[in-house]
Structures are given as structure tokens and as C-alpha cells.
Chain A
Amino acid sequence: MQEAGLIQLSSKGLYCAEGDFFIDPWYPAGKAIITHGHSDHARIGQSAYLAHPTTCSVMKHRLGEVNTQALNYEQELMINGVGVTLFPAGHIPGSAQVRIRKGKETWVVSGDYKCHADGLSEPYVPVTCNHFISECTFGLPVFHWQPQGEVLASINQWWQQNAVQGLQSVIFAYALGKAQRILNGLDPSIGKIFGHGAVIAMNQTLHAAGVNLAACQAINQASKEDLKGAIIIAPPAASGTPWLNKFEPYRTAFASGWMAMRGSRRWQAADRGFVLSDHADWKELNHAVESSGAENIYLTHGYKAAFAKYLQSKGKRAFELDTLFEGESLNHSSEKELEANV
């Protein structure tokens, strides 16, 4: 990273010395701007949190009573003479790219993002800058997302087929973001829709923050009769646990960008894998880099070595950064620890 730039990578995370704040720090660090509510970005132990109002609500739900300050999209806040503005990242409700500028120097920290609208999150907007710090969870050309409508239609079709055969459907998706995206895409004429406790609690939080959500009942209120042909949305950590026994007979599905690969589908040991990601695919990543107009690209997590090399081959100045962000995870053992507090 450039010497004496507005943003530096410290051992605790991305740091702006002039403004004296961190962005998504992974250890207790001080004042923090948070891009979104996922647990590898919004971590416990900061003295103050600045984020979009929806993210503030999510943090209060996940982290307890923390000191938050809300900032709406596209309103510049001056911190120690540094201008801070949040722009929609399209990742999950409340997710933001953080623009930081002073003088002629403009930085954008993407957090996690996707460029296509999902009907739930505030749609991504490109932000021009000199320095673009981007994720690249799916930074290889094998990743190409089908239009969301097609994926949701195949989820509904799968649910319908199961219901006809007298089977319950259990779909695993992150409790924050993916679960609601699927919920809003389900066809309620097929059957009843239930949520795992973690999903229901998150729905309430988001609903209170003003996010529009379709109806979803708590699973613990379901009778045996209610469950017939129903679909249950559950966090990935619930897969392979005895919690599922009460849904017998059932089929399982997993919704994630990783499901684009047969190897990962087989690893999950779910009956079906739907390719649905809240991250940018290859084309979107390239689009974002291009439309930022940045001279310098820094890559934080994902296939950053390959993506950096590719950008360099296209004549860009691209660098890898060593961060502790995880993006969309395939490995549930680490996720289980994080979800345990929810």
C-alpha cells in the first residue's frame, strides 16, 4: 500500500491516521466505521461504531449494547478533517462502501458487495476514486451468476416438487441477507414458510429497521400439520444437526456462490445446491474496478493473487492486502463459533 496514504493497513485492520478511525477492524481498536453487519466485518470490542442505520440495528442485535452512530447513504460526515461518506454496496440491507477523502485523495473501501440488484438491499452504486480497496471472494472467471429470477424460480420449483412428494424442504442460507433474499423470492402459494430462530430474530431486527420482508413464521410455533410440504429457512450451522429430525421426511438445499462448483456441492452433502451469492462474480468485479476509475486497486479477500495478476496483465496497478475478512465461507466450523452468540 502506498506510503503515507490516507489509509494504511495496520495489524488491527484498515486505518485512517488523519481521521483516527478504523474500517472493519478485526481486533478491538478504537473508533470504527463498519461496512456491514456480517461477523467478520462487525466485530466486538470497538469504542465507537459508525455505520448505516440498518447496520447499527444489526450490530445492536448481534453484539449487544454497543456505542453506535448512524450515517445515511451519500451524506458526507467530516471526521478530523477527513470526509466520510457511505454508498450502497448491494451486499445485504444496510451494507455500504466507505468513501474517504481529503484534498485530492479519494479512497473507497468496498466491504463486501455485488453489482446486481437483489430487490432487498439498496442497489450498489459505482463510486469514483483514486484508490479502490475491493474484496474478490469470487475473483476467478469460472464464477458467473445466473439472473436472480432464474435461481429463485428453480428454488420454488424444487420446493414444489418436494411438496408434491410429501417432503419438507430445508434450505440453508446465512441468517443475515441471504435468508431474507430467499424469503422474499419464495412463492407462498406453494406452502407455508418457516424460519429457524436465528433467521426469525434477524427478520425482526431488519423489519424494525424498515426492511420490507415477506411473512415467515417461527418454526417453534409449527405443528406437525403445519409442516406438511413447508419450506424451512435455516442457517448453515444447522445442517447435520438433530434439530432437523422433526422435519422428516425432508430434502435439503444450500444457497451459496460456492455451489457453482460441483466439488463444493458434494462437500456440503445437501440434496441440492443453488448458486446464489451476495458477492460480485468475475464480471461484476471487473465492472466495479473499471467504473471506480481508480489508479490503484487493493484486494482484501478471495482469490486476490490471481485477480491482482489478472488486473496487472490489463495494465492496472493492483496489490494484495493481508486481511482477516472471510467473505462467503464454505467452512462451517468457524461459522458455528461466530453464530453461537446469536
Chain B
Amino acid sequence: MNNNVLIGYKQRDNFVDHLTGTTKLIGLIALSVIGMVSFDTRFLLVLTIGSLALFRLSGIKFHEVSFILSFITAFSVLNLIAVYIFGPQYGVHLYGSEHVIWQGVGPYNLTWEQLFYEFNLFLKYIFTVPLALVFLMTTNPSEFSSSLNRIGVSYRISYAVSLALRYIPDVQNDYRQISKAQQARGNEISKKGKLTHRVKAAAQILLPLIFTSLDRIETISQAMELRRFGKLKKRSWYAEKPMKRSDFAALMVIALVVVIGICLFKLNAGRFYDPFR
């Protein structure tokens, strides 16, 4: 509960921090989508190294994110093991060749193709991590919604996003308070309790949490209504930053990476880079 990265925004005086939220948002979306589609190992490696470099540049300290990193590593490893258990021959099937390293039992042998495929998956799992963390920790939440508006999202929805970011800590606080109150009354919600107890106790926390929040929705929407929110077609943003030269430069680099990613599809005749051919 205490490891909330979302509110981990801190002003850090450096290059990444000075980019506008718009640039960082476009970068995150564009790079994560191209990395999601591409299976070219060289490209993914460059993306991973690039995003790690960006992470260094952003000046985020390792201990700020070490908790998240250990979780992600555990999840990725679990996922890779699951992929092997369910598809030990999947790499062979994808690349259409078989180089056996170790002859195991039945379909469970170890091939270079499978290793290579899982290495690709691993890169896909991790390359977004530095990007997402940099984005979350160097973007001012209010500026984030103004950037959404600038890339064409309606300002009502951008404002909703800003409200969400604003209220996440409040909701957490409410949750914590209600949960403590319930624990004081003897409701077991920790791992020690039985599953049925935990579910029941969770419901007893959720009901008050959700109903106070529904009241809150009424209060806030009335306050906004009184301030004439949504009456006009456009809205200006207090936290908006003007686009600077460095932003355009960064956008060019992002565009270049995406174009290279797309060209590689052509070059490899598909999404996969196949070193076994």
C-alpha cells in the first residue's frame, strides 16, 4: 500500500523532466505498441538498452523502484516458465527448425529456438518497465491531462483522468481507514485468515468505500457544475507546458524508432527475426 509509484512524481531538474507530458505520452504509447508487435530481437535489444539509458538520464534512484522491479522480475519469470510448460515446442513451431540442446522427456526438450523465443518474450516483458516508470515518475499528473487533451482526447475525458489521479490517494486513504476500523472490530483480512473470511471482510470494507465514493461523485459533479464545467468547446490548462525544441527532437527520435521497427517487418518478411535460417 505504501509503494505507490503513481504519486511518486518529484521535480527532477534534468532533460527528461523538462520534456512536455505530451512528448512522453506519445513516446510511451508509440514505443510500447511497436515493441508489442515486433519480434525482432535486435530491435527489442536496442529498445531495451535505449529505455534503460533513458532511465539513467531521468535521475530516478534505484531504491525508489527496487520493490516494483523485484515483483516484475518474479512475474516475468513465472510467465516464461508457464510459456515453457504449455508450449515447449512453440519456438520450434514458430521458427520452423530444431536445434536440440538437451533431449528431455516427451515434448519437454530444450531447443535453441524455444530459448530464443522466450528471450524475445523476456525482452518484450521488460523493455517497457523503464519507460513506464520514467513516464510516471517524471510527469506532473496535472500536466498529464493537458497532454492528453493536446493529443486529441476530449477535454472532458482528460479531466476525468486528472480527477482519477487526484483521487487515487484519497481512495487509498479511505480504504485504509475503513480497513483499520473493520480490523478493530475483529475482521481478518490478512493472509492469515481463511479465504471465505477474507472475501467476506473485503466486502465489508468495499461497501462503505464504494458508497461514500458514490456520494463524492455527486458532490464533485455539483461543484463542477456550479463552476460551469463543460459548457464550452475548449478549455485551457494551468499546467500546460509549451512544446520546445527538445520536444520536437525527442519526437523525431521516437518516430525514427517506430519507422525502423516497421521497416524491419518488411526486411524479415514478417514480425519474426529468424537467426536459424
Specify whether A and B are partners.
no
